[in-house]
Amino acid sequence: MSERRVSPDDDDCSSLLSRLGSDSPRPRMKYGGMFCSVEGAFENKTLNFDTFSPQTQRRRATRTQTGSCDGGDGGQGQMVVFSSGHARENYGKRQGDRLIIKGGKIVNDDQSFYADVYIEDGTIKQIGENLIVPSDVRTVDAYGQLVIPGGIDANTNLHSPQKGLNPADDLYQGTRAALSGGTTTIMDHVLVEPGTSLLSVFDQWRETAEQKACCDFSLHLDVARWHEGLYEELETLVKDKGVNSFLFFMAYKDRCQSSDSQLYEAFGVLRHLGAIAQVHAENGDIINEEQKKLLCFGITGPEGHVLSHPEEVETEAVYRAITIAKQANCPLYVTKVMSKSAADVIANSRKKGIVVYGEPITASLATDGSHYWSKDWATAAAFVMSPPLNPDPSTPQYLTSLLACGDLQVTSSAHGSFSTAQKAIGKDDFTLIPEGTNGIEERMSVVWDRAVSTGKMDENEFVAVTSTNAAKLFNIYPKKGRIAEGCDADVVVWNPKETKTVSAQTHNLTVEVNILEGLELRGVASVVISGGRVVVEDGKLNVTEGSGRFVPRKAFPDAVYRRIRARSKMAEARGVPRGNYDGPVHDVISMTKSVPPTPTSRGPPGPKTQSGPRNLHQSGFTLSGAQIDDHIPRRSTQRIVAPPGGRSNITSLS
Amino acid sequence: MSDCRRQWNREDELPVYLAGPIATGPNQRKSFGMFSSVEGAFESKTIDFDNYAVGRKGSRTPRSGSRERLLDAGGAVGKTSSQARQGSLSDPPGEQDDARAGVEVRLSPGVDSADGQSEKLLIRGGRVVNDDQSLYADVYIEDGLIKQVGENLVVPGGVKVIEANGRMVIPGGIDVNTCLMKSYLGNRPVDDFFQGTKAALAGGTTMIIDHVTPQPGDSLLMAFEHWQEAADKKACCDYSLHVDIPQWDETVKYELELLVQEKGINSFQVYMAYKDVYQMSDSQLYEAFTFLKQLGAVVLVHAENGDLIAQEQRKILGMGITGPEGHPLSRPEELEAEAVFRAITLGNRVNCPVYITKVMSKSAADTITQARRKGSVVFGEPITASLATDGSHYWSKNWAKAAAYVTSPPLSPDPTTPDHLNTLLACGDLQVVGSAHCAYSLSQKAIGKDDFTLIPEGTNGVEERMGFVWDKAVAMGKMDENQFVAVTSTNAAKIFNLYPRKGRIAVGSDADVVIWDPDSTKTISAKNQQSASEYNIFEGLECRGGSALVLSQGRVVYEEGKLQAQQGAGRFIPCKPFPDYAYQRVKFRNQVKQGVTRGMYDGPVHDVAPMAKYITPSPSARTSPTFNQPPPIRNLHQSNFSLSGAQIDDYIPRRSGHRIVAPPGGRSNITSLG
């Protein structure tokens, strides 16, 4: 991905084009190249944001500069002048910086207060006023700004191939963009294709990420096909590898989709291991049929995508996933909440006490699905993701409100970007368009702009939804997601007053279309400190490929599992002690014998699963490992002679 | 129920029915209350009901009331209606007066035969209640049809006159859900078409729609004919049939088409439960919905999540719970609500009317309500059991009692459920009341004595249906009499396209008429029911309102406790497809989505061909759902998209072949944009 940067950059447009032009049938530079898609986006926005964005020029410059150093001599060679006057000698060394952030207001999810923060060796060492610090400390000036824990993006797809294509933004580009937006930890989805070993894919992924990522990362595992045999691997992953969340697909029929039975079994295992179940909630069966239908109708453009993934299909799956999770008593995390009704289902279930979490993403908070009908194919295709953005224009506001009131908990980006050329694989068939949108960079600003500056949310809640909640759910709190002594020095100095305009020309990604093109967002990360190092300052990005560390996560996060544990104890159903029924029994034995060969035995719902005379007392039902009721002696064989409340034997009922 | 029990216990006397021929139970039963009837019933279910079918129902009157009478009479046979009614359990004097002024049948001289088809009848002085209005009018019936409705009718001589004395004259009830022949492991329910329809008539229901339940692999057509044959021989009232689709495959389609177009079936049931037996996947449901919609049929859905039920059953059996309480534990309310939600979603996507059979829980009913509010075409059918009782009995110490309540979806243990469902029924969010009558004897239920999953599912309710709707909804002030008629009869007739032949009192309609007595009170008991099962799940419940006289096909079949049902009198009523009530909205919604007209994308395309080839063999590429879709060689401009017939955009000239050079709003071709 980065080799394209090598091209001599006379101007940034052509540098971006250089790679594309090679497989393009026609050179398109004369028209402004791939930004024609951007032009298309202006159809309904009519503003040329470039002209009035004060930052644009500067950003562009940054981009070029950083670009050249990527391809050339690497991060160390770059000269960046910091306001504090410090030179750059510390940059190559991880955890080398000693920093003091002065004058800012520290905002955690529970309170805000004015204090200075002293950072050393990648951790926060002291917080307070008038700190006593060593002499050679760099000062970051945060007067008038907020000092918040670095954002945690709980859902990215920076390395998952689709149809054999790797995302345009890999773990390096993606994390770089994340840092520039104020996100200092990402959780990437490891897609495990059916038939491959979870462990080997995980190891490979982790290795890749360690080489490339510029910020700390953690990994979710996407299990495409569940079967009992995966238990061992899951156990290893949870206990030894630091993974505590697994995603299952309810969509993508015949490829990744799990049936309800599979989900139930898997959820049971996850609860046992103390992990969190995530679902991609869409009804794959219906989608599949709808796609066939639409293609028959002759609808092949990107609008077919949203037509074949209607809102209620998402809602239905969310509802079902919640039902299953409730039955299995497993915590559930619904990724990518894209519609009002899906969010409502989550909110209602939470009101009923179900342990479920909802994650809206940058795109669903910032824009809507009207663009699928854009006349410009590239624009329309850029929005293709699943579940799709909702055509209802009031969706973003609604989701923001739910986020503000706590019905939805975590914001992420679901970043998975594909270039227009990659998307164009599906130019004649919308079902082939690789799915994914950008958003990793804009996430924090979008939440600030949509929720905080509109007055829906306060700054503490902002920290909660962008960082702390995710840290708690996924059990990396308080190492991440809080500014306190001993926490990781992932700190962002947030400037609520500054604005920036999103544009594909100035963003830090390789994709040539930004779905938020032209949006003006209030709230910008002015300084970003990742692992104790200043990586963003004054709009300049200074990252080191491979500096990100893997963040292992332990099982049984308290925030999630306390309730689950208590419920497992409560949920034990008890039978009614009765005497044995010894009245007449209709003779069915001969029938049952004759029935099984013909599939006519009418439905006691599992006649085929249990064959012959089940010995109830021997089915110990071990999922494996200890059961919650192990301490209760099984009352299997004893006959109740005189139960409390009198004999219940039917023959002697009086 | 508890009221009755208490009352019952207060009486030290011998329960009335014990004086009857089946009072053979052990002694101690007499002194204990409520379920002794049931106890007695077990062994004695060999009673020949025909023997006292006429009189037994006279004890619609509760025991205390008819005590003396029954005792002197030595049996119920032959009592007149007014006598039987006189001493109802809690009757205030006023009621008695009213009762004396009950229905009378006078035979003018010269009337031919009492059972002839050509009987001429005049119902005089009643208040005709339809679903839209009530009015005082006389009804003249001839040849099994309503010939005149109005005041001061001019009628020929020799007419049998029925004096309604100001009572309600309502269209006969339609029970949309019965299973009178649904076999379970080769066992038929004890109520067959004869017993079942007899019970129906006694309760004021003059038409049933029974479920044809073929087994997977059976021919639907054969099953249908089998059912029809049995019903023609046995049914005492008119009937129609639903056909259950046990599994979905290509061969079924042909039979469905035949059934709809030639056999007069317009409703089919699909199952979301019964994993590995009847359950269909979402894809199959989608296909089935699509196909049935084309045929104009109503899709009935048994909505429960079978996958999860199977898992829960395994778990609960593993925990050592084998009694009937395992049944509701393994089928929690959420699974029903979830499946209802899914069925509605599917219905919306296919744009097909969906009818949810057996709404048993609050959350399922709420799901339907909300969907209707959003405009979905969905109908909900609570049943007698869910309207009148709750699922607390599954925890009864008495196995037989607990097992009697086993039905799917199970009765909700939440005791507020009946009230909630009645409220929704009254406000129109639920539309139809069925009974899901499927009565198995205790010994049949006992097949599952060691494993609740083997208990045959089904409860009674065909006889009590109308009474409980009156008792729980109208008598409680939730519902008016017109809505009562709507939910017990008219709505069903409309949904299944039987209206106005059934479900209305109007000139030309079938003479299925009930004279309804709102003031009568009876106590439900297995002892005096028509059904052949030895248990009644409403045992001991007191029910206000009941039919005083029932006309089926213009013949008096039930009159104040006397049942004169004639086996085989029932006719098959064919139902036409595309009922307006369900399909009118669907037709309007059938409009077609249109794509966006764009220029061809001719920008760069990532080279994917070699990749795809590499990926395809291993099923490992993460791709969008339709990897197996036709290859992307589709030419957008040539797909003329005709579904068949005229399209909504026919008048727009197709711009297929020509390239857009300068479209309005600027060029949209990607390569030349900007």
- Whether B35 and A43 lie within 8 Å, measured CB to CB: no
* Nearest residue, CB atoms, B335 vs list A301, A323, A616: A323
- Whether A320 and B305 lie within 8 Å, measured CB to CB: yes
Residues of chain B contacting A606 with CB distance shorter than 8 Å: 275-276, 310, 313-314, 453
**B interface test, pick of A163, A265, A513, A623 with most B CB neighbours within 10 Å:** A163
pLDDT at position A573 is 64
Token pair in block for residue B343? 């069925």
Residue B654: CB atoms within 10 A of its CB come to 12
**A interface test, pick of B622, B643, B669 with most A CB neighbours within 10 Å:** B622
Q: Residue B575 — very low, low, confident or very high, per pLDDT cuts 50/70/90? A: very high
Per-residue pLDDT at B42 exceeds 60: no
Give the CA-trace dihedral at A176, A177, A182, A183, to 10 degrees: -70
Residues of chain A contacting B215 with CB distance shorter than 8 Å: 598-602
What rounded mean pLDDT belongs to chain B? 77
pLDDT at position B512 is 93
The fraction of chain B above a pLDDT of 90, given in percent, is: 50
The fraction of chain A above a pLDDT of 70, given in percent, is: 74
**3-state SS of chain B: helix, strand, coil percent to 5?**
35, 15, 45
* Nearest residue, CB atoms, B626 vs list A431, A595, A598: A431
Which residue in chain B has the smallest CA separation from A290? B349
Residue type, position A187, single letter: M
The fraction of chain B above a pLDDT of 70, given in percent, is: 72
Per-residue pLDDT at B506 exceeds 60: yes
Residues of chain B contacting A324 with CB distance shorter than 8 Å: 308
Residues of chain A contacting B315 with CB distance shorter than 8 Å: 621
Closest CA to A136 of A167, A182, A96, A178: A96
Read off the pLDDT of residues B96-148 as tens digits, 9 standing for 90 and up: 344 334 555 555 444 444 444 457 899 999 999 999 999 999 999 998 999 99
**A interface test, pick of B289, B338, B670, B672 with most A CB neighbours within 10 Å:** B670
Residues of chain B contacting A636 with CB distance shorter than 8 Å: 320
Residues of chain A contacting B625 with CB distance shorter than 8 Å: 251-255, 257, 284, 287-288, 291, 431
Which residue in chain B has the smallest CA separation from A262? B307
- In B348-397, beta strands by DSSP E: 354-359, 378-382
Q: How far is CA B378 from CA A146, A444, B282, B429, in A?
A: 53, 42, 18, 10
Closest CA to B384 of B459, B473, B461, B458: B461
All domains of chain B, ordered by start, with CATH? 170-587 (3.20.20.140)
**A interface test, pick of B247, B362, B596 with most A CB neighbours within 10 Å:** B596
Q: In 3-state terms, what secondary structure has residue B16?
A: helix
Q: How far is CA A278 from CA A245, A247, A650, B16, in A?
A: 7, 4, 48, 63
Residues of chain B contacting A27 with CB distance shorter than 8 Å: none
Read off the pLDDT of residues B205-262 as tens digits, 9 standing for 90 and up: 999 999 999 988 889 999 999 999 999 999 999 999 999 999 998 889 999 999 999 9
Closest CA to A307 of B637, B595, B632: B595
Read off the pLDDT of residues A44-79 as tens digits, 9 standing for 90 and up: 433 334 434 444 344 443 333 343 333 333 333 333
What are the backbone angles phi and psi of residue A325, rounded to the nearest 5°? -65, -40
- Whether B314 and A609 lie within 8 Å, measured CB to CB: yes
Closest CA to B630 of A292, A422, A299: A292
- Whether B215 and A599 lie within 8 Å, measured CB to CB: yes
Please state at what angle helix B306-318 crosses helix A311-328, rounded to 10 degrees: 0
- ipTM comes to 0.71
pLDDT at position A445 is 94
Q: Are strands A138-141 and A98-102 parallel, antiparallel or unpaired?
A: parallel
User: Which neighbouring-strand residues pair with A246?
Assistant: A221, A277
Closest CA to B642 of A395, A156, A297, A654: A297
Per-residue pLDDT at B14 exceeds 90: no
* Nearest residue, CB atoms, A428 vs list B35, B449, B632: B632
HSE value, Cβ hemisphere, 13 Å, CA-based, for A336: 31
* Nearest residue, CB atoms, B307 vs list A264, A583, A645: A264
Q: In 3-state terms, what secondary structure has residue A148?
A: strand
Q: How far is A303 from chain B (nearest CA, A)?
A: 7
Residues of chain A contacting B413 with CB distance shorter than 8 Å: none
Q: In the A/B pair of chains, how many CB contacts fall below 8 A?
A: 414
pLDDT at position A565 is 86
pLDDT at position A109 is 92
Determine which of B57-66, B331-340, B391-400, B537-546 has the lowest per-residue pLDDT on average. B57-66
Per-residue pLDDT at B339 exceeds 90: yes
The more confident residue out of A643 and B313 is B313
pLDDT at position A337 is 94
Average pLDDT over residues B559-564: 86
* Nearest residue, CB atoms, B603 vs list A320, A424, A634: A424
Q: Residue B594 — very low, low, confident or very high, per pLDDT cuts 50/70/90? A: low
pLDDT at position A155 is 94
- Whether B668 and A375 lie within 8 Å, measured CB to CB: yes
How is the beta sheet containing B378-382 ordered, strand by strand? B173-178, B205-212, B238-244, B267-271, B298-302, B354-359, B378-382
Q: What is the C-alpha separation between B523 and B540, in angstroms, rounded?
A: 6
Read off the pLDDT of residues B162-194 as tens digits, 9 standing for 90 and up: 998 889 999 999 999 999 998 888 888 999 999
Mark A446-458 as b/e (b = at least 16 C-beta within 10 Å).
bbbbbbbbeebbe
Residues of chain B contacting A251 with CB distance shorter than 8 Å: 625
Q: Are A332 and A247 in contact (CB under 8 A)?
A: no
- Whether A586 and B441 lie within 8 Å, measured CB to CB: yes
Question: Tokens 């599952």 appear where?
Answer: B448
pLDDT at position B528 is 85
Average pLDDT over residues B397-405: 90
Q: What is the C-alpha separation between A135 and B186, in angstroms, rounded?
A: 91
Q: What is the C-alpha separation between A557 and A571, in angstroms, rounded?
A: 20
- Whether B185 and A320 lie within 8 Å, measured CB to CB: no
Q: For chain A, which residues score pLDDT lower than 50?
A: 1-95, 589-627, 629-630, 632-643, 646-654
Mark B243-282 as b/e (b = at least 16 C-beta within 10 Å).
bbbbbbeeebbebbeebbeebbbbbbbbbbbbbbbbbbbb
Q: How far is B282 from chain A (nearest CA, A)?
A: 6
Q: How far is B642 from chain A (nearest CA, A)?
A: 7
